[in-house]
Amino acid sequence: MKLSKKNEKNRKPGPEMKDLFKQNQKVMLLIATRTEMGFTATIDGIQEGILYNNEVFQPLKIGEKISGYVKKVRDDGKIDLCLQKPGYKAVDALSASIMYKLRHQKGFIGVTDNSRPEVIADLFGVSKKVFKKAIGNLYKNRLITLEEDGIRLKERSKKPVTASKKGPHRKGPRKDLKRHSTHRKGVEDAKIKRAK
C-alpha cells in the first residue's frame, strides 16, 4: 500500500509528530515490514512505529491491520509499539481471560508460572511476565489455587459472606481498643490530678 506524498512526509518522526500520540494510547496498526528487531507498522495511517520481537506473541502478516498501543514516544519522535494493553490494564484483561478459560475447561488449566514462554504465548498471546502478574493477582484475590501441574479455579463457599461489626477474623471485642481506651482514661486522670 502506497501512501500519498503528504502522508509519506508525515510518517517521518519529528518533534511536531510527537504530540500526535501519547503513551498507552490505543491505535490502529498496519503491519508494513519485517526487520531484524521486529515489525514496522503504520500508526493510524500517519506515522511509522516499531513492534519489537519481544512484544509480539502472535503471528503477524505484512499488510495485516491490527489494534495496538503506543508503548513509548521517544525523544527523537520515534514510537515503540505493543499489541497488549500496557501495564495493569493488560493484567486485568488477562485475568478475565484466564478465569474464562478455567470456567470453560472444568476449572483446570495445565499451565503454570513455570511453563515455557512459548506455551504461555500460544495459549494466551502474552508474555510470561504479564502472565505471572495475572496469576499472582488471581491468587492474591483467592480466585485460584496454584498446583504443581496447573492452575485450578477455587471453589466458592456456598455459604453467603456477611459483614459483621467485629470484622472477618475476630471473635469477641478488640482487646487493643480496650487497652487503648483504658490508657487514654489514665492519661486524662493524670492531667486532672496535675491541674489540682
pLDDT over threshold 80, residue 124: yes
Q: Do 84 and 91 form a contact (C-beta atoms < 8 A)?
A: no
More confident position, 24 or 148: 148
Average pLDDT over residues 92-99: 83
| Predicted pLDDT of residue 30 | 93
Cell (9 digits) for 54: 519481544
Decide: pTM greater than 0.85.
no
The SS3 assignment for 152 reads strand
**Is there a contact between 144 and 105 (Cβ–Cβ < 8 Å)?**
no
Pick the CATH number of 88-153 from 3.40.50.300, 2.40.50.140, 1.10.10.10, 1.10.3720.10: 1.10.10.10
Instruction: List, by residue range, all CATH 2.40.50.140 domains of the chain.
Output: 5-82
Percent of the chain clearing pLDDT 90 (strictly above): 19
What per-residue confidence (pLDDT) applies to 7? 47
pLDDT the model gives residue 5 = 45
Angle between helices 128-140 and 117-124 (to 10 degrees): 70
CB atoms within 10 A of CB 88: 13
Task: Determine the CATH number of domain 5-82.
Answer: 2.40.50.140
pLDDT for 118 beyond 90: no
Question: What residue type is 107 in one-letter code?
Answer: G
